[in-house]
Amino acid sequence: MTNVPPTTIAPPEEVPPPPPVPALEMRGITKRYPGVVANDRIDLDVKPGEIHALLGENGAGKTTLMNILYGLARPDEGEILLDGKVVDIAGPSDAIARGISMVHQHFMLVPVLSVAENIILGEEITRAGGFLDRAAARDRIAKLAEQFGFDVDPDAQVAKLSVGQQQRVEILKALYRDTRILVLDEPTAVLTPQETDEIFLLLRRLAESGRSIIFISHKLYEVLAIADRITVIRRGRVVGERLPKATTEDDLAELMVGREVMLSVDRGESHPGAVVLAIDDLRVKDDRGREVVRGVSLQVRAGEILGIAGVAGNGQDELVEAIIGLRNVSGGTVTLAGQDVTSAAPRQMHDRGVAYVPADRHRYGLILSFSIADNLVLNRYNRPPFARGIVRNDAAVLEEATRAIGQYDIRTPSATIPAGTLSGGNQQKVVVAREFDRDLTLLVLDQPTRGLDVGSIEFIHRQIIAKRNASTAVLLVSAELDEILEVSDRIAVMYGGRLVGEMDARTADKNEVGLVMATGGRTAQASRGAAEDGAAGVSTGSGEPPA
């Protein structure tokens, strides 16, 4: 038996020297889907107690590789070794039994159950007669939580926890199942900077206990901060392995994208003109009839970018949907270039030179089953030259599509394939091409780069700044604080349906803004504990505003 016992706890103060046998080894993994090689002879090894980052753009093959590890997909070639022994992972339950756990971006928790109930789900401890032994389960969870310094109450209802706490429940769930290899898929996408720091501390403790962690991300600075080793994947292949000490963000970006990338675009100076968008005391309800925008007032001038930062679910989506005419306003006014446009229809806003890039491009931005060409004219399909009377002119649509595909660098074999077959970045380029390609008075962007790779982000940021320089008023909403800081001219933070705090983007401090995002700015100088309280009030759903 050369096995490393699964629950060996290394002394916490020093990382044990790497044993000869990796905890996990994936050799020559190849997975082909019709028309694409998702994984091409990928080698990956993860040592016990190592945090191994898997870095790559969207569509690079990270998810496929992890699905193979988790038994959700079968490799066409290659083998998986656990502790040096070849294994055949039949499915997720087999993977879990072998000590592999995955924490998905979208949590798999039952909101109405308690933390303890969620953790034992599927792995219930029963007493004689098949009754649930809650006390035993609670004890075991409490012990685990204490061992790793989790700050989670086993009896709390999951629905009432903050996103960060829910994530910790997911990790606890994995630990409860004696996980040895923990895969985290973009774990920080939903967290504030403070929550990110906390989760990193926790991951470090887990690694010190001998568990291996695979950390999937496309955020370079995070990977550098947390990983012991970084494997970069591009187009289904491993293109490099780096140690954080011996690399830089620029180096990683270039590996990941395959060419040199400008990580931050030069936004230049803004020259604000007249007020284009003026919002006064705007109130908006969400689908469930709760007021989630509670009296927002703001102004955006021509030629400036107002960035609205905030943890997702604080009313930002409803705010932009109300501006754009997709959601009814329950109070207040929206004025565009001096004219009242409160509750105007989307097409009226379009005709007044307003463009919108939605947060959910699959829901509002694209019709995935329609061709790229049809998507590119989705808001003007009924106007010349795309239609003569009621008859569509396919030739004109195709011609326009070919032009836009060239100009906006949309990578596609043809204009007639369904938009759903494109990668996320290229899908977003289709939206951007359609929305940006005319003179605009106002541009509203909601999370325009969510889920995109570095190359696409760079492209879209450039386009936004170009619009700003062409005297368009830009309203940029993002939960990605770096994006707000890099692109905006002015920053406002949205918290609990209100705008709290406004600052100059060039002088704003990231940690300070992060704290305002988490607390609503009531206690900007308060301790970490206060930040936690604030975050705890923000639920994951569509944004229960903190009381």
Note the residues at the interface with another protein (CB under 8 A).
34, 287, 324, 326, 345-347, 350, 356, 358, 363-370, 374, 378-379, 381-382, 387, 390-392
Closer to another protein by Cβ: residue 34 or 129: 34
**What's the rounded Cα separation, in Å, for the pair 167 and 108?**
10
Give least dist CB 345 to another protein, A. Answer: 7
Phi, psi values for residue 460, rounded to 5°: -70, -40
Closer to another protein by Cβ: residue 10 or 396: 396
Give least dist CB 364 to another protein, A. Answer: 5
Q: Are 304 and 474 in contact (CB under 8 A)?
A: yes
Closer to another protein by Cβ: residue 245 or 288: 288
Nearest 5°: the CA angle 308, 422, 78 is 110
**What's the rounded Cα separation, in Å, for the pair 256 and 179?**
29
Closer to another protein by Cβ: residue 330 or 469: 330
Burial level of 493, CB count in 10 A (0-12/13-18/19+)?
buried
Give least dist CB 398 to another protein, A. Answer: 14
Closer to another protein by Cβ: residue 298 or 376: 376
Closer to another protein by Cβ: residue 180 or 434: 434
Angle between helix 193-208 and 134-148 (nearest 10): 100
Cβ neighbours around 515 below 10 Å, total: 25
Handedness of CA 428, 429, 431, 432 (dihedral sign): positive
Handedness of CA 205, 207, 210, 216 (dihedral sign): positive
Give least dist CB 503 to another protein, A. Answer: 31
Tokens 């990110």, residue?
A: 196
Closer to another protein by Cβ: residue 20 or 413: 413
Pairing label, strands 291-301, 275-285 = antiparallel
Closer to another protein by Cβ: residue 200 or 381: 381
Q: Are 261 and 315 in contact (CB under 8 A)?
A: no
Give least dist CB 289 to another protein, A. Answer: 12
Closer to another protein by Cβ: residue 8 or 330: 330
Give least dist CB 377 to another protein, A. Answer: 9
**What's the rounded Cα separation, in Å, for the pair 493 and 504?**
12
Two tokens, residue 446:
């909601």
Give least dist CB 64 to another protein, A. Answer: 17
What are the CA-CA distances from residue 212 to residues 14, 251, 355 (Å)? 15, 25, 46
Closer to another protein by Cβ: residue 308 or 366: 366
Give least dist CB 367 to another protein, A. Answer: 4
Closer to another protein by Cβ: residue 397 or 500: 397
Give least dist CB 223 to another protein, A. Answer: 34
Closer to another protein by Cβ: residue 362 or 522: 362
Phi, psi values for residue 28, rounded to 5°: 55, 35
Q: Is the peptide bond before 385 cis (omega within 30 degrees of 0)?
A: yes
Cβ neighbours around 518 below 10 Å, total: 30
339-371 residues labelled b (16+ CB within 10 A) or e (exposed): eebbebeeeebbeebbbbbbbebeebbbeeeeb
The DSSP-derived string for 241-284 is: EE-GGG--HHHHHHHHHSS---SS---------SEEEEEEEEEE
Give least dist CB 117 to another protein, A. Answer: 27
Give least dist CB 386 to another protein, A. Answer: 8
| DSSP code for 87 | E
Give least dist CB 390 to another protein, A. Answer: 5
End-to-end Cα separation, the chain, in angstroms: 57
